[in-house]
């Protein structure tokens, strides 16, 4: 073959590969950015429920319902296991089958989750669940961590009051529909590291603390701390968007869930 033609073919092939690589990166960034900053709408809420064709297949299964935001949805996990499926896999309980249904919606705030819980179409999922995993709150406080408002403390108190109020309604509604289901609430981590000042970190920690007190006040409910897991492992646990966990990050959270849940069961 003519050397010029061979070099031309190799050149075109390399261009195609480069373009494909760039498109892949841009697509990944677009997905993770849109889920960080996405806004919930009534259509999003309805889609989160309708995307599952049926409720849990059997009461004999270990039925896990995952609700909340992009962390609940598993955004960033290269293995697509996320929290629910990752938990089911690591639990390795051969005595019964495990089924996971995920109604999480990237971009959801606590008020959005409240709308999902109050939608009557969600009732069947809650009633048949043995465990409800909740990841919510990160999008509520994200705007405060991102901005430099002079009214930070005032804005935070208003946000925290509304957040805790909505969360209490959510927890009450879940327990009213299924008093026996175990609630597993995923705490917040700091994806920004030392890029945010100590004042904002303290606000995040206070939000976690108030959340843990509320969650722990309900029977068969546990709060899962994640702040310490990510504090020294951001490079290892975050995906390309520097916000969502990667597979290793989700795996670390799942390990913590199993540890806390088993400890809670031993105390009972």
Residues 120, 17 share a domain:
no
- pLDDT, residue 61, reads 85
Mean pLDDT calculated for residue range 223-228 = 98
Residues 147, 137 share a domain:
yes
- pLDDT, residue 247, reads 98
How many separate domains does the chain show?
2
Residues 71, 2 share a domain:
no
Residues 200, 149 share a domain:
yes
Residues 29, 162 share a domain:
no
pTM of the model: 0.82
Residues 254, 147 share a domain:
yes
Mean pLDDT calculated for residue range 16-21 = 40
Q: And the tokens for 260?
A: 């806390």
Residues 144, 109 share a domain:
yes
Residues 103, 26 share a domain:
no
Find the CATH number of the domain harbouring 110.
3.40.50.1110
Task: Residue 148: give the domain boundaries.
Answer: 39-267
Residue whose tokens read 């009732």: 123
Element of type H or E holding 249: helix 247-267
Average pLDDT, the chain: 84
**Other Cβ atoms within 10 Å of 172 Cβ, number:** 12
Residues 247, 139 share a domain:
yes
pLDDT tens readout for residues 55-108: 898 877 899 999 999 999 999 999 999 999 999 999 876 667 899 999 999 999
Which of the four pLDDT bands, split at 50, 70 and 90, describes residue 5? Answer: low
- pLDDT, residue 230, reads 98
- pLDDT, residue 84, reads 97
The b/e string for 39-51 (b: 16+ C-beta within 10 A; e otherwise) is: ebeeebbeebbee
Mean pLDDT calculated for residue range 224-229 = 98
Residues 131, 69 share a domain:
yes
Residues 76, 18 share a domain:
no
Which of the four pLDDT bands, split at 50, 70 and 90, describes residue 156? Answer: very high
Q: At what angle do helices 110-118 and 42-50 cross, to 10 degrees?
A: 50
Contact call for residues 227 and 214 (beta carbons, < 8 A): no
pLDDT tens readout for residues 170-212: 999 999 999 999 999 999 999 999 999 999 999 999 999 999 9
Residues 107, 133 share a domain:
yes
């Amino acid at each position: 073959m003519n050397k010029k033609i061979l070099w031309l073919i190799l050149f075109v092939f390399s261009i195609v590969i480069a373009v494909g690589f760039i498109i892949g990166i841009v697509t990944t960034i677009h997905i993770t950015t849109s889920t960080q900053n996405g806004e919930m709408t009534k259509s999003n809420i309805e889609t989160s429920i309708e995307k599952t064709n049926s409720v849990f297949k059997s009461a004999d299964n270990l039925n896990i319902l995952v609700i909340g935001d992009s962390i609940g949805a598993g955004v960033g996990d290269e293995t697509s296991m996320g929290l629910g499926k990752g938990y089911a896999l690591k639990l390795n309980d051969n005595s019964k089958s495990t089924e996971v249904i995920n109604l999480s919606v990237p971009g959801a705030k606590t008020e959005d989750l409240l709308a999902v819980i109050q939608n009557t179409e969600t009732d069947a999922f809650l009633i048949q669940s043995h465990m409800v995993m909740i990841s919510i709150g990160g999008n509520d406080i994200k705007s405060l961590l991102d901005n430099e408002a002079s009214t930070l403390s005032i804005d935070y108190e208003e946000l925290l009051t509304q957040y805790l109020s909505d969360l209490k309604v959510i927890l009450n509604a879940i327990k009213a529909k299924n008093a026996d289901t175990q609630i597993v609430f995923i705490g917040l981590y700091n994806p920004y590291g030392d890029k945010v000042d100590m004042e904002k970190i303290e606000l995040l920690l206070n939000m976690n603390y108030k959340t843990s007190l509320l969650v722990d006040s309900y029977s068969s409910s546990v709060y899962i701390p994640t702040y310490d897991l990510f504090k020294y492992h951001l490079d290892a646990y975050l995906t390309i968007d520097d916000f969502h966990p990667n597979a290793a990050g989700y795996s670390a959270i799942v390990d913590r869930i199993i540890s806390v849940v088993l400890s809670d069961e031993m105390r009972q």
